[in-house]
Every structure is written in C-alpha cells, then in structure tokens.
Amino acid sequence: MQTHTPGPWFVDQQGAPTVRTSNGTVVCGVPTNPSDAILIAAAPDMLHALKQLAASGLLDTLLEMDKAMADDGDDPIAAPHINRILDAIAKAEGRL
C-alpha cells in the first residue's frame, strides 16, 4: 500500500488555493471550497494525533470503564466515540 505524503501540509493562498508540503510539493490542487483546503492540510496532524491516542492505552482504559458502567446498568459513553476514532484511522490508512 502506498503511504500518504508526509506532513506538515499547509494551504498556499497565492493564486488558486493549493495544499502543499513544507518543501513546496503539491498535495492537492484547487479545492472548490477554501475550508476544504484547510481541512485537507490538517489531515496529517489529525491522523498523527489519533494514532498517538490509540497507542497510548487510554482508549482501552475508557473501554474498560464503559464495560464497568454497563455492568452497573448504565449506558456506555466512550465506546461509540472510540469506534469512530479507530474507524477514522483505518479509513485514512486505506483499511476501511
């Protein structure tokens, strides 16, 4: 599987907005919505942060707390969010 272009990325506003790397490589040209360019440029940082969170063990701790809550008859609150985090990582890595 091919890996993504390493970040950080930024939005170059000179002319038509493009997303570039710090050495000037174009990652994405001319999104139709400038807000899309900003989101695209933030993608490597967000993926890195989510992967660090997943590797930290905190998500496992939250799932254990959810299980304890469910055992006490309470609705779990973390599991749906954790699943979204893991799905987002998988999607970014081309596994979903």
pLDDT in tens, 48-96: 999 999 999 999 999 999 889 888 888 888 888 999 999 999 988 888 8
SS3 state of residue 68:
helix
SS3 state of residue 12:
strand
B/e letters for 49-78, b = 16+ CB within 10 Å, e = fewer, are ebeeebeeeebeebeeebeeeeeeeeebeb
Residue 1's pLDDT is: 57
Residue 67 structure tokens? 């299980």
Q: pTM for the full model?
A: 0.76
SS3 state of residue 18:
strand
